[in-house]
Amino acid sequence: MTSKQLEDDGFVTVEKRFKYMSIGGAGNNSKRSKNKKKNRYVFKDSIDYTLNDLEPILAQRREALGDSQFYKDLLDILEQQLIPTQPQELICYGIGSMQHSKNAQYQFILALLLRDMLKSVEKVSIYDPVMTELDKELSKSYNIDVIETNEDGKRKVSRPTLFYMPHCGRGLYSNTLSANWDKESLPNVIMIANRFDMYVGTQLERDLRRECPYLIPAVELVDCTSFPKEFDDNKVFNDLSVITFPKTSVENVKDSYWDDVPVEKVEE
């Protein structure tokens, strides 16, 4: 069954997937019948998954990701661009449902690998409106705090914080920037997100001013390093980057820069 992505309030949802489960049977009349029943398979709907179903799947995803050339190349980028920022907190927005999505499973595994790599991280939190009760149980089993309310990405930070936001809506990126749009807070924002220049300069400016106004001035302040190009079907980590706001860049702009965000009000 192929996955179909849907956008919901800036977050990406993915239709449920299935896995094979072997079944046996009783009352066989012959050896041939026994063999037939041994080899029968049925789909187990992901809605019926338990932690016992998800954990071996995640173990397979971790092995596949860790053994890939993509991850080996990514490690070089993370060691040079991410580790020196020493984030003390990791916020995961918009990963999706690990219960129902292969992409979400890989993205969740990368979050775990990031935590292992970043010895400075003291706390990890996660939120997506599509997360199921099983997703929340899974997160807690890995000592990840589940954010209970939709913050719309608007979390203000006072210490270096990594916002892990793979393939979120552009408005959500803008919201995170808006909550930290000043000289003191913005250098504490580190992001793994889609490149901002994918939107700015390539899409209608009026739409950008209305839907993601903070991306427009942010483009001039970011230091951006792209992820390696290929992994799996190239839809799990494509177009992602490590994005930072160097203190030197932020301090060099005029005070009026922070008030001059080109917001386009929505007509009622």
Could you tell me the two tokens for 64?
């596949």
pTM to 2 decimal places: 0.83
In this prediction, residue 230 has a pLDDT band, given cuts at 50, 70 and 90, of confident
Alpha helices (H) along 122-246 = 133-141, 170-179, 205-211, 215-218
Q: Which fold has domain 51-258?
A: Rossmann fold (3.40.50)
The mean pLDDT of 144-150, rounded to a whole number, is 97
Indicate the average pLDDT of the chain.
86
Q: What pLDDT, on the 0 to 100 scale, is given for residue 95? A: 97
User: Domain extents for the chain?
Assistant: 5-47, 51-258
- The answer to whether residues 239 and 246 touch, using CB atoms and an 8 Å cutoff, is no
- Tokens standing for 88? 């003390």
pLDDT per residue as tens digits for the range 188-203? 999 999 999 888 876 6
Tens of pLDDT, residues 76-112: 999 999 999 999 999 999 999 999 999 999 999 999 9
Which of these ranges, 31-35, 161-165, 166-170, has the smallest mean pLDDT?
31-35
